[in-house]
Structure 1
Amino acid sequence: MILVVLFTVGLGRVTEAQMLAETAAGSAARAASLARSADQAVAAAYATVDADSSMSCPHPNVIVDTSAFRPGGTVAVTVDCHPRLADITGVGFPGTIQISERMVSGIDTWRQADAP
């Protein structure tokens, strides 16, 4: 019975971390797409992910792609999460796993942006 509970807790952590990474990547991409410059987009994405991080995904790795940052372009954010599972490894979970989510947000075609 204890193994079933630990297995359920492990699956819950993985699911929560995956949902957190997906939500953080989407929110960060949207925040970055509203910025006026590529540098501001990167800062906005990092700030958004920092605000969304939790114990299920401590210290997420954030990659912001601003190569198409221009009116009508896109900005992409990838969030890599490593949920901790070491305390429940008795049921066969590795110490950590990697969850990666990538979201892309469009930049308004008719708005002004600072030069790159």
Structure 2
Amino acid sequence: MAAEITIAAPFLIMLLVFVGVVIHRGVDARIRIDDAAHQAARAASIERTPTAATAAAQSTAASALSSAGVTCASLSVSTSTGGLRPGGTVSVTVSCAVDFGDALILGVPGGKTLSATSVEPVDLWRSTPDTGSGT
């Protein structure tokens, strides 16, 4: 019995470490995507037009994920600018297909799409594009 435990213990320890690393990578990617959605929504909320807000959200999300070291097989940034007016809100959803291909040894799926949504308020006292004055 002791011989079997001695032989099996290193493999079980390696398995636990590997599972821990895979879980950590998934949680870390989730946190980074949440942060990218928050940064993108904030960037969109300070823009004056829906077109500029959408472009700012897209570039900010891509930049935030890149600087955080998250590589997306596909990145989707959806911006809701219907509330882009003083006192309104802007919503951004970031979806990233994260690759876990190097974890296939344990049967972990090769990738998973993670999504996060963030809603940011638009400054109540900001100027509007048509009047140049606050509300």
Cα shift at 1:68: 1.6
Q: Which has the larger radius of gyration?
A: 2
Cα shift at 1:101: 0.6
TM-score, normalisation: structure 2 = 0.77
Equivalent-residue separation in structure 1 for 2:84 and 2:44 (angstroms): 9
2:30 aligned partner: 18
TM-score, normalisation: structure 1 = 0.89
Cα shift at 1:7: 1.2
Which consecutive residues of structure 2, in runs of 5 or more, have no partner in the other structure?
Answer: 1-12, 131-135
2:21 aligned partner: 9
- Give CA deviations for 1:38-78 in whole Å, capped at 9, x if unaligned: 11111111111111114434242111111221111111000
Sequence identity percentage: 36
1:94 aligned partner: 109
Which consecutive residues of structure 1, in runs of 5 or more, have no partner in the other structure?
Answer: none
1:43 aligned partner: 55
Q: Which has the higher contact order (CA 8 A, sep 6+)?
A: 1
Comparing 28-37 and 83-92, the one that deviates more: 83-92
CA RMSD of aligned residues (A): 1.5
Cα shift at 1:13: 1.3
